[in-house]
Amino acid sequence: MASSHSDSARMEQIITEFFAKSLHIILESRTPCISSRNFSGEQTVSSPSSSSSSSSSVRPRDKWFNLALRECPEALENLDLWHQSNLEPMVVDVVLVKRAINWEPANFYPKTELFKNLSSKELHTNCWNSDQEELGNERSEKIIERWIVQYEVRKAKDAGKGSKRSSSSILSSIYKKSMLLLRSLYLTVRLLPAYKIFRDLNLTGQIRSFSLAHRVSSFVEPFTRREEAEMQQFGFAPVDTSSGRLCLSVLYRSSLSDVSSEPSTPMSPQLIPDYVGSPLADPLKRFPSLPVSHGSPSSLPFSRRHSWSFDQYRASPPSRTFSPSPTHSEPYASASNPSSCRFPPPGLPPHPSEVSHAHKDNASFDEYYPSPIFSPSLSPSPPIYVPGSNLSRALLRSESAPVNILATKFLNSPMLFKNQNFPPSPPLRGTRYGPSTADKSMCPSRDVATVDKMSFVGRDDIGRPSGLQLSSGSSAHISYSRSSCRSFHDDFDESEYTCPFDVNEDDVTDSGSRVDLFDKRGHAHDPLQSASFLPIRKSPGAAVGALVDMLKKAPPLHQDFSNMATASQASQASRSETWSNSFHEYCQTPKAISAQDGTSSVTSSALLASKTTADALEELKGYQEMKNLLLSQGGTGRSQSVPNYAAAAAAVVESAGRGTVKF
Amino acid sequence: MNCEVCHLKELEVEHYEIREVLRCILHTIIFHRALGLVRPKEIDLELFEITYVQCGDEEVEKKIDEKIDQFIGWAEKHPNKKSQICLSFFEVKNKQVSWFGKQMERLFWEHWYISLNVAQQPKVHSLKSHNNKVVDTGENILEERSIRRASLEASLRDVLFQIIRFVNDKKEHVPPIPNREGFISFPYEIAIPSSSDSAFGMDMFKRMLQTGHPTMLSSD
């Protein structure tokens, strides 16, 4: 009996090792990062001595079934995790994880999110790159292979079947058969379609939109019928033992080409509909909506739209900036809020697509504003430099580029933003509504930052304190959301909600507090502005309007300008506010103001990275001259097409500045 | 000892494809019969999207390549013929004196027949060429070639699965693993038409005696 006992123990061991080896073989060729391929090269070099002839370098594990495999930490890990008795089946699911790379910048979420469903130990996705992370991802999982290794215990009566042969010979026979089975497995694993994916992942260092993961468990998660229909089965002949049999089978998808190439069904439906209907897609739509938002009451619906559209919008935040319709000076603020909310999205990791959007929309600059605004809040003087530097850089690069830079910065340093925002009023919501102080502080910086003429107009809109805060808040939220790692939809929603929309909607719409807040704001501004600005608006407004018209004609900025034109007036008002608050000194002297404008224009022109006030003044003078020239020409002058968009912007700025001067 | 025979599905190959196809098949079979401690080596075919596995033994690889070279030489001399390669595994019995005067007798326990239909050149489809210009014909040839290649790849894959199935279904006849150092694979031989007539013919003859059915090899 002793021998039989030892035999059964050995049998147990064979079975145990069979499980381990099977898992090793499967995962070795399904876990990309382990890269058997890369290994193979190494193998030839390092392992020749160990090659079959010499067993010197062979590890004990390799001797089992006379099959030396590469190191596969995943297999060992999973085996430990699985760690079931031999009576439990071992189910190895190979999962194709597909990430859709969206052109939309909106979809950024941490890769970790992608795998939220899978536990970290379960996941072995190796191929994520930072670049990929930046791209929006939508993940879908598909089980493409299910390996089942099982030891079926035979009924007792059948157990003695092989008794005729000596137990040792039975054991060796079983061992031999299991070796054959494992060799078959080794080959089969490489013949199934999934191996091609594995190989692609390993061989090409390219970034892929898909990866492989696996799950090892002891229970079978049933497939749906449809899934089952898509699977084929390959059953290896079981190895009979004295007390049962070793079974190995695989369900696999026979065609994976569609899987790898076509976007997973789950993601597409969600994104696409929104995307199509999103304001971004249709600029006209969103613009109309914005004006409505201006009205405090109307703001509610507006915010709503944003909220749902917001996700989509991230890609094209700039347009939003313009969205504020200049018509209502006060409305801007409200409008700005929504816009600001949008801004945060730009702050998100720059997307190529985003860039393009930004580029298209003049508003892109406006988007930046939010960030600059924040910096000012921290310290009055610094604001300029922070935003300015960013802007200048961006400008230098390209219109679109700046956005990205800013965004990235913000993303990188969410805390800073928060801090900046918070200093005025820690709670975002509170700040928003409570606006005046925080907003005002922000505004100045904003102006500086805005640098752009274009932004100028938009700036005011943006400048609305509440908006800025919101944006800042949103940006912060976004960063957080990332960390939280939701699906990117979630992120957006979250950001949105966290953003003014959510809060605003609920608070404002429901309570109508919003209006009050706005009013408060307006009041705050009014005192400051009212004296100087109101008049300014009107008189300069006409001139500005003319200029705006001209600007409208400029092809590239066309749409934006129209918006800007309206916005410009508002912007002036807002500007005045900001000045009054933080840049009190400047306000007092029109020159100073003009200087600011000049700086802004300079930066906008993107000619200079960083300008001092003196430089700005000089520039401003030049612009003023140009402006005067234009004005002297009279109405015709206005009608003249301004070849340079920058010039036009400068003119606008100047006109604005002029108005202030007059007063 | 019973001897199992596996006739693999015939493959239509062009001359330049012979080497890869034969390597893939022969190594795959031998990998299943290399029950010594092996460190598998996976090889990607260049012509096909198929990965096969070698047992990693240089001797095996060398022997296979030699045989393939011989076969290719033979195929060049005998164009457009169907041909078979036979991979046989045997045990060596020293004690018995063979009828042919050799001290060592080979007891074959498994034969694998690999059937190749070697097309020397891509077929020109006369029907299409009639109506189309030269360029079109060229395109057609290319297209047909790619189609043919794809079908060959699928067939080759089928053959590999056929091998796997056979290995799985037939295990009892595999001799016990010799317990000696350095054992890698059961002894085997590869018989090709180009082999000396005596050796190949003898193998065929013996096989006929054993299995009782006519050889598929055609000498014409």
3-state secondary structure chain B: CCCEEEECCCEEEEHHHHHHHHHHHHHHHHHHHCCCCECCEEEECCCCCCEEEECCCHHHHHHHHHHHHHHHHHHHHCCCCEEEEEEEEEEEECCCCCCCCCCCEEEEEEEEEEEEEEECCCCCCHHHHHHCCHHHHHHHHHHHHHHHHHHHHHHHHHHHHHHHHHHHHCCCCCCCCCCCCCCCCCCEEEECCCCCHHHHHHHHHHHHHHHCCCCCCCCC
Task: Note whether A177 contacts B: Cβ–Cβ < 8 A.
Answer: yes
Same domain, A534 and A442: yes
pLDDT band at B198 (very low <50, low <70, confident <90, very high): very low
Same domain, A318 and A233: no
Share of chain B above pLDDT 70, in %: 75
Are A55 and B38 an interchain contact pair (Cβ–Cβ within 8 Å)?
A: no
* B133-169 per-position pLDDT tens digit: 555 666 778 888 888 888 899 999 999 999 999 999 8
Same domain, A213 and A312: no
Angstrom CA distances, A454 to A175, A457, A576, A605, stand at 79, 6, 17, 10
Q: Which residues of chain A have pLDDT under 50?
A: 1, 34-56, 102-137, 159-162, 259-538, 557-609, 637-646, 648-653, 655-663
Phi, psi of B79, deg, nearest 5: -65, 155
Closest residue, chain A, to B60 (C-alpha): A52
Residues in chain B closer than 8 A to A190 (CB atoms): 42, 51-53
* Token couple for A125: 């996705």
Residue B77 Ramachandran class (φ > 0 left, ψ -120 to 50 alpha, else beta) = alpha
Place of tokens 């080497």: B19
pLDDT at B171 over 70: yes
| Per-residue pLDDT, B172 | 87
Same domain, A305 and A195: no
Task: Note whether B56 contacts A: Cβ–Cβ < 8 A.
Answer: yes
Taking the CA of residue B9 and the nearest CA in chain A, the distance in Å comes to 17
Same domain, A593 and A483: yes
pLDDT band at B21 (very low <50, low <70, confident <90, very high): very high
The domain that contains A226 carries what CATH number?
A: 3.30.900.10
pLDDT at B25 over 90: yes
| Domain annotation covers residue A49 | no
Same domain, A35 and A123: yes
| Domain annotation covers residue A270 | no
Interface confidence, given as ipTM, is 0.82
Residues in chain A closer than 8 A to B42 (CB atoms): 36, 40, 190
More confident call, B207 vs A169: A169
| Per-residue pLDDT, A492 | 37
pLDDT at B35 over 50: yes
Stretch B125-132: mean pLDDT, rounded? 48
Task: Note whether A43 contacts B: Cβ–Cβ < 8 A.
Answer: yes
Given CATH 3.30.1360, say whether it is the number of domain B4-211: no
Place of tokens 């968009």: A645
Same domain, A352 and A473: yes
Same domain, A535 and A657: yes
Same domain, A304 and A243: no
Domains: count for chain A: 2
pLDDT band at B202 (very low <50, low <70, confident <90, very high): low
Closest residue, chain B, to A25 (C-alpha): B40
| Per-residue pLDDT, A165 | 60
Residues in chain A closer than 8 A to B154 (CB atoms): none
Phi, psi of A501, deg, nearest 5: -55, -60
User: For an interface test with A, which of B6, B44, B51 has the most A Cβ atoms less than 10 Å from its Cβ?
Assistant: B51
Taking the CA of residue B130 and the nearest CA in chain A, the distance in Å comes to 37
Indicate the residue among A230, A254, A278 that finishes a domain: A254
Nearest to B56 among A36, A51, A236 (CB): A51
Task: Note whether A61 contacts B: Cβ–Cβ < 8 A.
Answer: no
Same domain, A67 and A189: yes
| Per-residue pLDDT, A222 | 77
Question: For residue A113, what are the contacts with CB-CB under 8 A and spacing of at least 6?
Answer: A137, A139, A485, A486, A487, A488
| Per-residue pLDDT, A166 | 67
pLDDT band at B73 (very low <50, low <70, confident <90, very high): confident
Are B160 and A191 an interchain contact pair (Cβ–Cβ within 8 Å)?
A: yes
* Contact by Cβ (8 Å): A294, A325: yes
Q: For residue B17, which of B122, B161, B102 has the smallest C-alpha distance?
A: B122
| Per-residue pLDDT, A267 | 36
Same domain, A332 and A201: no
Are A52 and B31 an interchain contact pair (Cβ–Cβ within 8 Å)?
A: no
Nearest to A184 among B38, B39, B167 (CB): B167
Are A187 and B31 an interchain contact pair (Cβ–Cβ within 8 Å)?
A: yes
Same domain, A184 and A305: no
* A15-46 per-position pLDDT tens digit: 888 888 888 888 888 887 644 444 433 333 33
| Domain annotation covers residue A284 | no
| Per-residue pLDDT, A84 | 67
- A583: domain range? 298-662
Are B177 and A44 an interchain contact pair (Cβ–Cβ within 8 Å)?
A: no
